[in-house]
Amino acid sequence: MSLLTSLFGKKSSSANVARDRLKLVLAHERASNALPYMDEMKAEIMEVIKKYTQVKDIHISSQNNQNIDVLEMEIILK
């Protein structure tokens, strides 16, 4: 941000709104993009589970706590 805007403030221009909206939506999307192999992995896990029991859906979420990346998987059975 330029010195002028930070000194005197600025009426929120449409470009600033665009920037903020983009940042928000991308923060959200990147979290779900971060693991590009997710869909394939999910399908494969599903196949394996199907061999043994009936599965309805799988939810996988990723989290990072401090320095550990965690994949959390929830398997919903029929």
- Number of neighbouring beta carbons within 10 Å of residue 14: 7
Q: In angstroms, give the least distance from the CB of 35 to another protein.
A: 9
Largest CA distance in the chain: 66
Which of 73, 77, 63 lies closest to 32, judged by CA? 63
For residues 1-60, which are near another protein according to CB under 8 A? Answer: 2-4, 10, 13-16, 18-19, 21-23, 25-26, 29-30, 33-34, 36-37
Burial (CB < 10 A; 0-12, 13-18, 19+), residue 34, is: exposed
Whichever of 33 and 62 has its CB closer to another protein, that residue is 33
Q: How many residues bind another protein (CB under 8 A)?
A: 21
Per CB under 8 A, residues contacting another protein are 2-4, 10, 13-16, 18-19, 21-23, 25-26, 29-30, 33-34, 36-37
